Amino acid sequence: MEHTLFASGMTIHYFDTDPANEQERQILIFLHGWGACKETFSPVIASLKEKYRIIAPDLPGFGKTGEPSRPWTVADYADFFQEFLKVLGLENQAFSACGHSHGGRLLIKWAARRPKGLKRLILIDSAGIKPKRSLGWYIKVYRYKIGKRLILLPGLNKLLAPLLADKIAKAGSTDYQQASPLMKRTMVLQLDEDLKPCLPRIKVPTLLFWGEGDRDTPLEQGQLMEKEIPNAGLVVLSPAGHYSYLDQLPQFLGALAYFMEH
């Protein structure tokens, strides 16, 4: 089921449950979130593979797929997805696409271009809305930046480095801490772009799934997407967090099946 292809200058690892599409089933493509990989969709794939042709790549910088040669913007990831489809021969075929978190961000940017072939869009706890930050958040960020600068000052670096290094290492999200230098710069480029202007340009039927207790991309962001995307509906899963589709797998699968068939 696992395959490789060459796109955007790198070898892409991906799942494809029926490469030849011998049974001419509907095609459903899954894109994972930041720091994750195609395997995070394994329970979903196991449940749907008899009904749909499922394709799920490791996005560049994650899983078995290598990092891009430079920091990527959201547009770069959208360009990659278009090339991935072209190499697979799906550029002009009908299919549905589903993205979780970062995968959803990518799909928002890409779907706003109104690509050929896209029939349905599914976004799960999607990233893409730049949140309003509290005063406490800005204070934390500026403390972090000041600390880094102090460490570099002659005469102070030896004195302050042991005191500040631990705090600097702990600053930021776990995803950011665990990323390579290149992927850290890529993550900043992703977070700096607000995709709200893209939402009204998405014209295909769109189903939003959101965990009621999602702290990474709060429910209010899903509610905003439902409002801004012309033909969108929102399913709130509870109790569920950022990985709502795994937290409430049966409910997710049921709503997804209904959406795909109507």
For the CA atoms of 64, 68, 72, 74, what is the dihedral angle to 10 degrees?
Answer: -40
The architecture (CATH level 2) of 2-130+193-261 comes to 3-Layer(aba) Sandwich (3.40)
The domain segmentation of the chain, as residue ranges, is: 2-130+193-261, 135-181
Residue 33 CA to residue 99 CA, distance in Å, equals 7
Query: CB atoms < 10 A from the CB of 44, how many?
Result: 22
3-class state of residue 83 by DSSP: helix
pLDDT digits (tens, 9 = 90+) for 192-221: 999 999 999 999 999 999 999 999 999 999
Position 140 scores a pLDDT of 52
Average pLDDT over residues 75-79: 98
Tokens of 39: 């395997």
Residue for token digits 């799920």? Answer: 56
pLDDT of 137 > 50? The answer is no
Q: What is the DSSP letter of 225?
A: H
Contacts of 166 (CB under 8 A, 6+ apart): none
